[in-house]
Homo-oligomer: A and B are copies of this chain.
Amino acid sequence: MEGVDHLAFERNKAQFDVNDMKIVWAGSRQEFELSDRISRLVASDPVFQKDNRTALDRKELFKNTLRKAAHAWKRVIELRLNEQEASKLRSFVDQPAFTDLHWGMFVPAIKGQGTDEQQAKWLPLANNMQIIGCYAQTELGHGSNVQGLETTATFDPKTDEFVIHSPTLTSSKWWPGGLGKISTHAIVYARLITDGQDHGVHGFIVQLRSLDDHLPLPGITVGDIGMKFGNAAYNSMDNGVLSFDHVRIPRNQMLMRVSQVTREGKFVHSGVPRQLIYGTMVYVRQAIVADASIALSRAVCIATRYSAVRRQFGSQKGGPETQVIDYKTQQARLFPLLASAYAFRFVSEWLKWLYTDVTQKLQANDFSTLPEAHACTAGLKSLTTSATADGIEECRKLCGGHGYLCSSGLPELFAVYVPACTYEGDNTVLLLQVARYLIKTISQLGSGNKPTGTTAYLARVEQLMQYQSDVKRAEDWLKPNVVIEAFEARAAGMSVAVAQNLSKFTDPEEGFQELSADLVEAAAAHCQLIVVSKFIEKLQQDIPGNGVKQQLEVLCGVYALFLLHNHLGDFLSTGCITQKQGSLANEQLRSLYSQVRPNAIALVDAFNYTDHLLGSVLGRYDGNVYPKLYEEAWKDPLNDSVVPDGFKEHVQPILRQQLRNARL
């Protein structure tokens, strides 16, 4: 059967050019070629194979990860890959490793928060990996509340040093990836204390381990925090615990781009605006949104292909059974996720643009758009990661029993993905930040402060409150402006409603606490509007390729109308649509599903994922699922022997009724 494409008949049904769609998905031909080249490079390298990793124990898995990380770095050097290529390569290796934090957090923190001098000293070392760093912010007792961190960095003017110390058990650093076993250095966040005064939390470069023998330096206690969710998944990472017993570092290891401590121990602000740091946050979060679209599309690719292979029920007169992808319930669960993957992809593209825009403005000392950009990225991080985590699990369920096997690839994808809902800002805490921004924007409407960017629609709040959709037939829901207006009216209506309720409280903060669940819902509605609008904006561009744009229009409709259906209560409550219009939307949604159906396989082929990256028997490109599932099974260590370890001691005595005498 090798070489046969069991899904060829599906691929032939597609009504668009899948190669053109690949370019759209990748963002550009150049991006496509880069990803294509690097993903094949990784897939064909025996060191990067990952089929057995869910059966490895912690130590073996960790060693295997070190091996891959070293090999990746070796390839980067040998092939003289540039930064972008190297980062792609790491991501296609698809196994969390200490290098993620070194390149993703340690180096950027030095770039963002270090002075020119500090950068000149530390970046070459880090860029050559002569030192390996991690990002040690979270403590046992504090994560979301960064301002509550307890670790102290007390300036000792006598020796011109900071004394880094962990005053309590809860001040132990806890979670930083790469910290547990590997990092030689860390950016440690600690309360700066000079002359008895607390200046809040700042970053410090601290060496943790000897560069000779890798042993922890005096005063440093460091280790791994133990097993995490799932097979393999994040267990390849040495998330760590760290505490300090009066560890001394030179004064110039405080990251001093924004604030400084002088030789005399005076705390001073440099001229550089604090806001610069928020620019980095926008960057990190846009990367998380891009990752969401990748993780979700991987899951969707697996579930879609398998749904076309899997047949169950409905055989007529001995013919083949129905492909489960033909069941409308399967479509109604799967196709919105397919549409979401595309939606998140396009919104992440836009966020990348936003980051560039904000950075340019910051460089010109224009901070005006930063709060809006910040709220918007916080909200989109929250929306996309939550939807992706839930979506991966839904894809797993869509594969029935077989989705529960590690060989489906879905359990590990879920387990490795879910922490994205928590790290870089807990999703609920982030939505509360968005809500605060929305309420502030609304409260300032009267004062002539014109809302900008993604909140611009709030300038039309009066009209939007009166808005009533004029949809008469199901097809009316295909018109972009009809959709946008309904989403704007709903989001504005929800924000205004909660703002009005807030105004009933004498203490605004108490009101904010009391109504926070409603605030979160209003914030979510706002974020959904952003994703829908950016998808629609994308479609207003010129998109080349046979049938490509039409497919994207269908997906955009699916995304929007699925949200509308799922949150119908909001739309009806705010009065922007009627019950009848709601049910017309649902009717239109059903018809869009039928339009997606023949294109479904090609739409996931457009992600251009290798079988290596998918790591899923169910999601194989060739659809040759059953023989491969069967083959995989026999590789389990339990199948090494016919009679399992422990049988003689623990089962035979039962069968022979000799349990009383047995030593267990």
Contact = CB atoms under 8 A, between A and B. Distances in A.
B636 A225 contact: yes
Contacts of A231: 227, 229-231
A411 interface: yes
A638 interface: yes
Contact of A184 (B73, B144, B649, B655): B655
A626 B169 contact: yes
Contacts of A400: 143-144, 422, 426
A216 interface: yes
A634 B223 contact: yes
Contact of A664 (B47, B586, B651): B47
Contacts of A56: 57
A570 B650 CA distance: 55
Given A58-B638, A66-B647, A406 B227 contact: yes
A100 to B, nearest CB: 15
A503 interface: no
Contact of A313 (B145, B234, B570, B647): B145
A630 B313 CA distance: 52
Interface stretch (A251-259, A344-352, A413-421, A454-462): A413-421
A62 interface: yes
A573 interface: yes
A557 to B, nearest CB: 16
A162 B172 CA distance: 67
B653 A70 contact: yes
B144 A642 contact: no
Most chain B CB inside 10 Å of its own CB: which residue of A401, A515, A579: A401
B653 A225 contact: no
A226 B402 CA distance: 11
Contact of A67 (B130, B403, B632, B649): B649
A604 B422 CA distance: 25
A422 B405 contact: no
Interface of A: 47, 54-59, 62-63, 66-67, 69-71, 73-74, 77-78, 128-132, 138, 140-145, 148, 169-170, 172, 174-175, 180-182, 184, 211, 213-216, 223-231, 234, 238, 241, 311-313, 315, 321, 327-333, 393, 396-397, 400-401, 403-407, 411, 414-415, 418-419, 421-423, 426-428, 432, 513-518, 520, 565, 567-573, 575, 579, 582-583, 586, 590, 626-627, 629-630, 632-640, 642-647, 649-655, 657, 659-660, 662, 664
